Copies of this chain bind each other. A is one copy, B any other.
Amino acid sequence: MAKIRVGVAGYGVIGQRLADGVALQEDMELVGVADVAPTLAVRALKEKGMPYDLYTALPEKRGELDALKIPVSGTLEDLVKKCDVMLDATSAGVGAKNKELYAKHGKKGIFQGGEKNAVADVFFHGYANYEKGIGAQFLKLTSCNTTGLIRAVDCIDRKAGVERVAITIIRRVADPGDYHRGLTNALQIDHAPSHQALDLMTIMPHVGATGILVHTPVTHGHIITVVMTTKKELSVENALEFFSEHPRIRPVSIDEGFLGNASLFRYARDLGNPRGDMYEIAVWRDSIVKSGKDLMFAINIPQEAVVIPENIDAVRACTGMQKDRIEGTDATNRYLGIGKWKA
């Protein structure tokens, strides 16, 4: 069977990781990546010897790339023509514009959480609603917090039924090396309910959700606490067992040395993961408690890489490579090396 040909538009924090992730899929071919300027990511691509072909999304600025002797393989439209599916990780709002190009050439497009929901036919999550993505032309993925949160909620929902969640998002405010935004010695609160709670209800309409988000001046992973009302009451041990079975959830504990979000980043670096990334969310064993009949627990969301697997799931769903949720997500997991450590 011919490999599915995939392109990546926007070679930033997410785009680079999408490209790396697709390149690992043995049943996909990464055709190339597109960007607009000699960013640090593009300079690094060149220093590495151009493992991926680069296309320019802004031909009028191509001179900046030429001046630095960064090879350019064509325009974004050239890239689109060569692909079956475009993973769009451009800045919020640009994806809606690019969609016209994808539509013009009859290609599939997968957008990120920053785009408006209207950009897509389906608001998608690999585990929660894989079936809805099958055959769709335009999909939008959930943002990093929502992607990780839904993994945990869907995991329990399929075992015991989730009625309601109330979440507190302790959000990292910027990525490492991000100088465009920042917060210094301050917590910042957003209007409630947080969009993540609303997004969860769009993907999982049978669950009630609300939440409060507080930005914190750190860069290595969001922590979300979840107060969860289930249909069937669960013990702490039940919950831990269900989490442990999920390929994209990693139970950890304080006593092992996982003291917080920065421990997980350090561990991913020590594992030798590319860029020190981790695809799995973590759940702290030591955080799971009962509140009456409800459960409460804390998870860690590695914001830079967490959405990569679900994006690749989306490629599988929309192209019909796998028509089954478990087959699709398992294929993604296998090529990304997810869950190996559970063996």
Contacts and interface: CB of A to CB of B under 8 A. Distances in A.
Nearest to A174: B184
A59 interface: no
Nearest to A264: B177
Nearest to A46: B341
A185 B192 contact: no
A192 B240 CA distance: 14
B210 A290 contact: yes
Contact of A267 (B43, B168, B218): B43
A225 interface: yes
A249 to B, nearest CB: 16
Interface string A191-213: 11100000000000000101110
Given A176-B220, A184-B185, A266-B176, A260 B296 contact: no
Contacts of A262: 176-179, 185-187
Contacts of A183: 179, 182, 184
B221 A187 contact: yes
A166 interface: yes
Given A40-B267, A185-B176, A216 B219 contact: no
A338 B219 CA distance: 28
Contacts of A225: 168, 212, 214, 225
Contacts of A212: 225, 287, 289, 296-298
Contacts of A219: 184-185
Given A170-B216, A275-B276, A287-B189, A260 B179 contact: yes
B189 A182 contact: no
A298 B16 contact: no
Interface in A135-179: 163-166, 168, 170, 172-179
B208 A292 contact: yes
Given A269-B276, A298-B214, A289 B193 contact: yes
A259 B179 contact: yes
Interface stretch (A119-127, A250-258, A313-321): A250-258
A290 to B, nearest CB: 7
Nearest to A270: B44
Contacts of A192: 286-289, 296, 298
B187 A170 contact: yes
A227 interface: yes
A48 interface: yes
Contacts of A166: 166, 227, 291, 294, 296
